[in-house]
Structure 1
Amino acid sequence: MIPFDFEYVKPKTIQETTNLFHSLAAEKKTPLYYSGGTEIITLGRLNLIYTDAVIDINALPAFHTIRFYENYLVIGAGVSLTKVEEENPFPLLSKTVSEIADRTARNKISLGGNICGGIYYREAVLPLLISDSLVGIAGRAGLHYHPINKVFNREMQLQKGDFLFNILIDRTYADLPFVSVKRRQQWNVGYPLVTVCALKKGEEVRMAFSGVCPFPFRSVEMEVMFNDKSYSLEDRVRRSLQYLPKPILDDVEGSSEYRIFVLQHTILDALHELEGGPNV
């Protein structure tokens, strides 16, 4: 059971939703948006989050749809990870989310919930960072689109009362060679030691990472090293590690030294694949 009572509302438009949030905040309440609800339930039971007003955004039109519009794949932030996996509109994203949690959890976890959630792995964002996706952010002024690499810095940089409504991905990225690898300490379900997502656009390799630091990231400096073919593959990987952000995670899943060891070999494997092998 969640150890607190809360008010529950379910608006039907973006404007109504954001107005409700600010009205409730003005009443000195602590509103939270509700989509899949997994974090509210899990963290609420542990007294790690609190709310006295839940705003259910599942009734918003197009919040749960996957469609193509002109040159873009458009995915509503309320779409479950299972739906992304099964419909497979962007194979790199589908492969990545298929490794998050277990099937029962993926049925409830929404794409937006994983990207914006408090659990810092946020692996679903990795394919979006390397495909230059746009994110639709809903706020009091309506729905506005921003390059994800401008508004995601370790986490989504949202103003109070704003929420992620949908994601736009240039449909050409769906056909590019890719690698998505998740390394765990043990078992087939669990948090990552390292998750690496990579794709090759033209002659350029791009990568984004989770599990290495207490936040997901894409490093342009590391990509410069990956793509500098005046060095051997091993040297390119080794040189790239100097640009790892800090801190490196050091916890029960794995020490910082072990994570870097696993990361180095996973990057090497990914580069091998993208230089002439099948997707993994």
Structure 2
Amino acid sequence: MLPFDFNYFKPATLKEAVDLYRDLDQRGKKPMFFSGGTELITLGRIALTYTEAVIDIKDLPECKVMHVSNDQLLLGSTLTLTKIEEANLFPLLTKIASEVADHTARGKITLGGNICARIFYREAVLPFLLADSKVLIVGPEGKKMVPINEVFKEQLQLKKGEFLVQVATETRFIGAPFIGIKRRQQWDTGYPLITIAALKLGRELRVAISGLCPFPFRSKELEASLNSDKPVVSRIDEALSKLPTPILEDVEGSANYRLFVLRNLLSDIISAFGKS
């Protein structure tokens, strides 16, 4: 049970959802867009979030799409990770999504909920960062389609009253060779230590990482080091010198241990892609 009451709204259109948010915000209701509800329930129980009005967007048609159109895969933000996994239209995303939480939770966690969550793992964003995907966002200023690498800076940069509608990915990225690895320190279903996703496009290796820092990221500077002609050890040393900060240090693992795990993961990926 949540320790507070709230009003529930279920708009029929994107515009109605945006207008509802503006009206409720002006009335001081601290409105929240809602799709799966896992974060609201989890954080609400420990007093880390609060709302007096929930706007349920999970059944808006634009937020439920899942199809290929004009060489682009369109995925709605309110699709559950289970639905995405079962459809398997983006194998790297399937691999990453299939290891988020447990099976029961994945049936409730949505794509947009994971990408926009306050918890720092947000693994589902990794394949989209690698594939130069675009995100469709709607808000008071209307709709906008923008590259995810321009608006995901530690988190998806949404303005007040905006929400994620869809993610669009070119099919040429979907068929590229990939690797997705999750490392946990203690057990199969515990919180991840590090999750790494990698794509190989021609001779170019791309990597995106979650769990190392308090946010998921893709670093082109790191990739440039990994794709150089230097010996593997030198490439990895140089790549590690270009990591963002801070490196996480918590009960899951120390900063030094995380760096040790990442070093070995990068070595394994380079070897698997034949770039040694």
Q: TM-score, normalised by structure 2?
A: 0.98
Instruction: Give the Cα separation in 2 of the matches to 1:182 and 1:234.
Output: 22
What are the equivalent positions in structure 2 for 1:162-241 lying under 5 Å apart?
162-229=162-229, 231-241=230-240
| Deviation (angstroms), 1:62 | 3.0
1:114–1:123 contact (8 Å) kept in structure 2: yes
> Which residue of 1 is the match for residue 153 of structure 2?
153
> Which residue of 2 is the match for residue 270 of structure 1?
269
Instruction: Give the Cα separation in 1 of the matches to 2:143 and 2:80.
Output: 21
1:36–1:78 contact (8 Å) kept in structure 2: yes
> Which residue of 1 is the match for residue 82 of structure 2?
82
Q: TM-score, normalised by structure 1?
A: 0.97
Instruction: Give the Cα separation in 1 of the matches to 2:22 and 2:178.
Output: 42
> Which residue of 2 is the match for residue 49 of structure 1?
49
Q: Could you say what secondary structure the match of 1:261 adopts?
A: helix
| Structure 2 counterpart of 1:202, one-letter code | G
1:176–1:199 contact (8 Å) kept in structure 2: yes
Instruction: Give the Cα separation in 2 of the matches to 1:61 and 1:147.
Output: 22
Instruction: Give the Cα separation in 2 of the matches to 1:20 and 1:147.
Output: 27
| Deviation (angstroms), 1:209 | 0.3
Instruction: Give the Cα separation in 2 of the matches to 1:97 and 1:194.
Output: 14
| Deviation (angstroms), 1:4 | 0.1
| Deviation (angstroms), 1:180 | 0.3
> Which residue of 2 is the match for residue 5 of structure 1?
5
> Which residue of 1 is the match for residue 32 of structure 2?
32
| Deviation (angstroms), 1:57 | 0.4
> Which residue of 2 is the match for residue 101 of structure 1?
101
Q: Could you say what secondary structure the match of 1:24 adopts?
A: helix
| Deviation (angstroms), 1:71 | 1.2
Are residues 1:257 and 2:256 paired? yes
**What are the superposed Cα offsets for residues 127-152 of structure 1, whole Å, 9 maximum, x if unpaired?**
00010000000112322100000000
Instruction: Give the Cα separation in 2 of the matches to 1:30 and 1:199.
Output: 40
| Structure 1 counterpart of 2:174, one-letter code | A
Q: Could you say what secondary structure the match of 1:266 adopts?
A: helix
**What are the superposed Cα offsets for residues 180-229 of structure 1, whole Å, 9 maximum, x if unpaired?**
00000111112211111000011100000000000001111100000002
Instruction: Give the Cα separation in 2 of the matches to 1:148 and 1:84.
Output: 19
Q: Which runs of 5+ in 2 are unaligned?
A: none
**What's the RMSD between the two structures over aligned residues?**
1.1
| Structure 2 counterpart of 1:75, one-letter code | L
| Structure 1 counterpart of 2:248, one-letter code | L
1:199–1:274 contact (8 Å) kept in structure 2: no
| Structure 1 counterpart of 2:70, one-letter code | E
Aligned residues: 276
Instruction: Give the Cα separation in 2 of the matches to 1:271 and 1:109.
Output: 32
Q: Could you say what secondary structure the match of 1:166 adopts?
A: strand
1:18–1:140 contact (8 Å) kept in structure 2: yes
| Deviation (angstroms), 1:43 | 0.8
1:14–1:142 contact (8 Å) kept in structure 2: no
Identity of aligned residues (%): 50
| Deviation (angstroms), 1:239 | 1.2
Q: Which runs of 5+ in 1 are unaligned?
A: none
1:85–1:94 contact (8 Å) kept in structure 2: yes
| Structure 1 counterpart of 2:183, one-letter code | R
1:130–1:218 contact (8 Å) kept in structure 2: yes
Q: Could you say what secondary structure the match of 2:25 adopts?
A: helix
* Structure 1 runs, 4 residues or longer, greater than 4 Å off: none
| Deviation (angstroms), 1:59 | 2.4
Instruction: Give the Cα separation in 1 of the matches to 2:218 and 2:247.
Output: 15
